[in-house]
Amino acid sequence: MSENVPPDLEAVDNEIQRLRTLGNAIEVLRGLRGLSQVRLEEESGISRSVIKELEGGIKRKRRARGTLEKISVALGMPHEYLDDILNGRRTPEVPEDPVMRMLEDMREEFGEKFSALEEHLGKIGADLVREHHDLAERFDALYQRINSPEVTIDLGEHRHDQDAPD
């Protein structure tokens, strides 16, 4: 009879983490390249179900020789990249996303310009508020003058009566 030996939980946790790290690396690299699992299947020659298992961290007892190498190459990485991750010889290094790098460069390049523009727009806004208050005060003063009892306005010929004949 064989004894029931409890599993080494630390070893199990490490194995799960290795598989998750591998799966995360594949998923992230695939996303950066804009590849669906179907497209990665086409480029690597590895079935979509295997790709799905790898990304999900599912461990197979046996995997066809060259599976990780083919996926690595299809993802634009060195052929040993994913195998090195799986076997702990490498920490996943996700290549820099060129679009994100370009956006970061633009943020740096235009950051000062945006700040200066924001400051300038703030000054324009403050000027507009001052002008608004000035115009409101002028309007109030004019309104006061027009409605004062000392002011009479003779409309003369400019008066338009609705009853007057044309």
**Is 163 inside a domain boundary?**
no
Phi–psi pair at 159, nearest 5 degrees? -70, 135
| Nearby residues of 151 by Cβ (< 8 Å), 6 or more positions away | 145
Write out pLDDT tens, residues 56-73. Answer: 877 766 777 799 999 999
Which candidate, 43, 39, 40, 11, places its Cα nearest to that of 25?
40
- pLDDT score of 166: 53
| Nearby residues of 50 by Cβ (< 8 Å), 6 or more positions away | 63, 67
Can you list the pairs that 102-110 forms with residues at least 24 positions away whose Cβ atoms lie under 8 Å? none
**Is 136 inside a domain boundary?**
yes
Write out pLDDT tens, residues 81-112. Answer: 888 888 878 766 555 667 667 777 777 888 77
118 and 69, same structural domain? no
58 and 120, same structural domain? no
139 and 118, same structural domain? yes
Write out pLDDT tens, residues 3-23. Answer: 565 566 666 666 656 666 788
Q: CA of 90: how far to CAs of 34, 38, 94, in Å?
A: 24, 27, 12
The rounded radius of gyration (Å) of the Cα atoms in the chain is 37
> Residue 53: which domain range?
10-86
Q: Average pLDDT for residues 31-35, to the nearest whole number? A: 85
- Of 36, 59, 86, which residue constitutes the final position of a domain? 86
